[in-house]
Amino acid sequence: MESKFSFNNKFVLEPIGSFLTKSRDKVLIEDEKVYQRVTVKINNGGIVPRDKELGENIGTKQQYKIKAGQFLMSKIDARNGAFGLVPENLEGAVVTNDFPVFDVNKTKINPEFLVLITTTKEFIHFAQSCSSGTTNRQRIDIEMFLAQRIPLPDIEEQNQIVKAYNSKIKLAEEQEQKASELEKGIEEYLFEELGVNKTEDKREKKLFSTIGYSEVERWAVESLGQLSRIDERFKGRFPFN
């Protein structure tokens, strides 16, 4: 299959199967044991706990044990971005054959870089092209998936990409926090200028639902006039300017 990825032509194309190997750690479900099961969330939501179930209540007796750091997908929902790395807290959980498990060759690919690749539109479109069946039960063809070639920078460059990505995410989170703090500061300034006490509405926090209107007579014309100058006082302090 020809690659459907848009990429920098300095990167070599490597088949996914060159760094992902299907795990075959089979486990026979025993009636008296309790097993952790998982869910692979769509839209790159990751691997999360599903439930813990007694073996006698599990119909499919041959399943597969998963390990932290492995790459896991849902055959049915791969076309919807149901991929992810197994987290530490789900070490030893079990999955059916509908959830292929892969060992990651970390000498060839940074697992975090792999996750970033799977979030791209090109990768999702590719997963959709590898899926067949009725509309709601399309399953990805694993052999076709492993044969697909993708652009793969060397491991050092992958690490740099992951580091830069994480730095941008951290910066975005910090700026969001600053914006939240600034919004709170503006609200506090408003109440101070109005000369009213802020009351908490436990059901919802809406600015004007918290004003004590019984104190409206204390609002001086001068104070109300200053509301029009709030923008001037805070101009230039927004982190997204």
Instruction: Give the start-to-end residue ranges of the domains of the chain.
Output: 12-151, 164-234
- Give the bridge partners for 211, in sequence order: 198
Predicted local confidence at residue 63, as pLDDT? 97
Predicted local confidence at residue 235, as pLDDT? 41
CATH number of this structure's domain 12-151, picked from the four choices 3.40.190.10, 3.90.220.20, 3.30.70.20, 1.20.1050.40: 3.90.220.20
What whole-number distance in Å separates Cα of residue 34 and Cα of residue 149? 40
Predicted local confidence at residue 181, as pLDDT? 84
Strand 20-22, strand 101-104: pairing:
antiparallel
Lookup result for tokens 């055959």: 75
Q: What digits encode the pLDDT tens for the residues 65-113?
A: 999 999 999 999 999 999 999 999 999 999 999 999 999 999 999 999 9
Predicted local confidence at residue 134, as pLDDT? 59
Mean pLDDT of 149-177: 89
Adjacency order of strands within the sheet including 83-85: 20-22, 101-104, 71-73, 83-85
What whole-number distance in Å separates Cα of residue 135 and Cα of residue 155? 38
Q: Which range, 47-51, 76-80, 118-122, is most confident?
A: 47-51
Mean pLDDT of 48-60: 96
Predicted local confidence at residue 194, as pLDDT? 67
What whole-number distance in Å separates Cα of residue 27 and Cα of residue 60? 11
Predicted TM-score (pTM) of this structure:
0.69
The H or E element containing residue 94 is strand 94-95
What whole-number distance in Å separates Cα of residue 40 and Cα of residue 48? 7
Residue 6 confidence (pLDDT) above 80: no
Predicted local confidence at residue 222, as pLDDT? 41
pLDDT band at 177 (very low <50, low <70, confident <90, very high): confident
Predicted local confidence at residue 201, as pLDDT? 52
Mean pLDDT of 43-49: 94
Mean pLDDT of 34-52: 96
Q: To the nearest whole percent, how much of the chain has pLDDT over 70?
A: 72
Predicted local confidence at residue 77, as pLDDT? 92
Pick 157 or 7 by higher pLDDT.
Answer: 157
Q: What digits encode the pLDDT tens for the residues 179-230?
A: 888 888 877 766 676 666 655 555 444 444 444 444 444 444 444 444 344 3
Q: Is 192 helix (H, G, I), strand (E, B) or coil?
A: helix
